[in-house]
Structure 1
Amino acid sequence: MSRPELLLLVTGCGTGVGKTWVGAGLLEAVRLRGLSVAARKPVQSYAEGDAETDADLLARATGLKAEEVCPRHRGYPVPLAPPIAAHLLGRPAYTIGELVAELDWGPAQVGLIEGAGGVRSPLAADGDTASLAQAIRPDRVILVADAGLGAIHAVRSSLDGLSGLAVTVFLNRFEATDEVHATNRSWLANQDGLEVATRVTDLTELVLAAAGGTATGGELGTRPAPHRR
């Protein structure tokens, strides 16, 4: 697998927490810094007839085509975990190794991979996003959680599958005036010692700073960014 200068993995504490929204926003912000980006959704499932898939949203954020983000043969029009959807559709089972082998980043300086569902949601016949994370060893994992009640448990439970990896927690739908939201952020940061972001702009700064980058790319951008459409 070719590897970008900075490889990020976006996953969540569950389904519907806003992984794709966060990932797309981050990629758009990174592009504005003059860095070339690419997104990959190794496999996805969706309801037949959906107007847009996760791959469509990530493609729009990066200037790529949806089939570059997620190969056509890895799209399953059943709204269940992808390997379960594949089984119900009578399509061949596949492995984490096959998904990793299909990753091709081209000249991107910053690459982002999005899993499906939560950290432990089935992603292939033999593994989940935790398995994918251990296989690709991203430079940083962005763990998206809902900011509300239950966030601390959800984050702690998800971290069990991400041992040995650098993780930034993103509390989505965060309202600073909400006491529960503010308390969750404070506890995760101060009690659990986690890096926590609540805005995409802050997440962008944290990710690039951790990679040795600056507002205009810094060390990360020493290689000229290729022209993008």
Structure 2
Amino acid sequence: MFSLNLGETSAAGFFITGTDTEIGKSFVACCIAQGLVKQGIAVSPRKPVASGCMLQADGSLLSEDALQLQAASQTSEPLARICPYRFEAAISPARAIAQSGQTININALYQACQVAADQFALVEGAGGFLSPLASDGLNADLALKLNYPLILVVGNRLGCLNHALLTIEAIEQRQLKLHAVILNDISPQADLDNFNDLQQLCRYPVIHQRYQTHPSPLVV
């Protein structure tokens, strides 16, 4: 179990972003959701757009990430509210949107991320911070519009230090608040020395998430 100090921010939500795809953003988001719920905080998760969704028997598409966020947040909000824009192709959301013949802009995703005033918004992007997300913008553009503090998830694998520092630089260039960096072990063989190296290389709190198969609460 590791912790974030929610008391240091008066924000109404977090934007969960990452250095790449398949590095554990949804896993970390679920851990944070569980931790907030444990503190009695009502959480509204949002995964506004998702690709690589599973086709269901009734013809609908299911985002497994959204399903996991729903469970971790213990919310009764329907999956269609948590993740309104879903695509089957396992490609970038922006390309999936284009291939579907639709136009879904950043403003539409921003509107999809709205939550009730008494809820803490936990918004998860798709892919890395500069990955294409909508017809007219990147994850970075949605993060800028929402203006929530960012949680940067770094997959602990070869090259992660470079990826982390490049992403931090992109976040700083947009003058967004980076609340914490989480180095997430994506395999049991992850290089543990990367944690100390990353702590020395960046000026933000760095948290080490050891490899595990099931999310456990973050105390925030």
State if a TM-score over 0.5 links the two structures.
Answer: yes
Deviation at 1:54, TM superposition (A): 1.3
CA distance in 1, matches of 2:109, 2:139: 11
State the secondary structure of the residue aligned to 1:98: helix
From 1, 7, 11, the equivalent of 2:13 is 7
Larger helix share, 1 or 2:
1
For the pair 1:152 / 2:155, whether they are aligned, the reply is no
Q: Percent identity?
A: 26
Q: Given the superposition, is the C-alpha separation of residues 188 and 194 from structure 1 closer, same or farther in structure 2, using an over 3 Å criterion?
A: farther
Counterparts of 1:74-113 in structure 2, within 5 Å, are 74-90=85-101, 92-113=102-123
CA distance in 1, matches of 2:218, 2:123: 16
For the pair 1:69 / 2:82, whether they are aligned, the reply is yes
For the pair 1:127 / 2:137, whether they are aligned, the reply is yes
Q: Given the superposition, is the C-alpha separation of residues 177 and 125 from structure 1 closer, same or farther in structure 2, using an over 3 Å criterion?
A: closer
Deviates more, 1:184-193 or 1:168-177: 168-177
CA distance in 1, matches of 2:66, 2:123: 11
Q: Given the superposition, is the C-alpha separation of residues 31 and 150 from structure 1 closer, same or farther in structure 2, using an over 3 Å criterion?
A: same
Deviation at 1:83, TM superposition (A): 1.7
Kindly tell me the number of residue pairs found equivalent between the two proteins: 197
Q: TM-score, normalized by length of structure 1?
A: 0.77
From 62, 67, 77, the equivalent of 1:56 is 67
Deviation at 1:104, TM superposition (A): 2.5
- In structure 1, runs of 5+ residues without a counterpart are 209-229
Deviates more, 1:161-170 or 1:103-112: 103-112
Task: Output the amino acid matched with 2:88.
Answer: P
Deviation at 1:165, TM superposition (A): 2.1
CA contact (8 A) 1:83 1:93 kept: no
Counterpart position of 2:23: 17
CA distance in 2, matches of 1:192, 1:107: 34
Q: Given the superposition, is the C-alpha separation of residues 108 and 41 from structure 1 closer, same or farther in structure 2, using an over 3 Å criterion?
A: farther
Query: 1 or 2 for the larger relative contact order (CA 8 Å, sep ≥6)?
Result: 2
CA RMSD of aligned residues (A): 2.6
Q: Given the superposition, is the C-alpha separation of residues 158 and 135 from structure 1 closer, same or farther in structure 2, using an over 3 Å criterion?
A: same
Q: Given the superposition, is the C-alpha separation of residues 70 and 202 from structure 1 closer, same or farther in structure 2, using an over 3 Å criterion?
A: closer
CA distance in 1, matches of 2:203, 2:187: 21
Counterpart position of 1:166: 177
Cα offsets for 1:17-49 (capped at 9, x unmatched): 010011011101110111111101111111443
CA distance in 1, matches of 2:177, 2:199: 14
CA contact (8 A) 1:38 1:112 kept: yes
Q: Given the superposition, is the C-alpha separation of residues 77 and 193 from structure 1 closer, same or farther in structure 2, using an over 3 Å criterion?
A: same
**Runs of 4+ residues deviating >4 angstroms:** 174-178, 200-203
Deviation at 1:199, TM superposition (A): 3.3
CA distance in 1, matches of 2:187, 2:49: 32
Q: TM-score, normalized by length of structure 2?
A: 0.80
CA distance in 1, matches of 2:71, 2:209: 20
CA distance in 1, matches of 2:64, 2:187: 27
Deviation at 1:174, TM superposition (A): 6.9
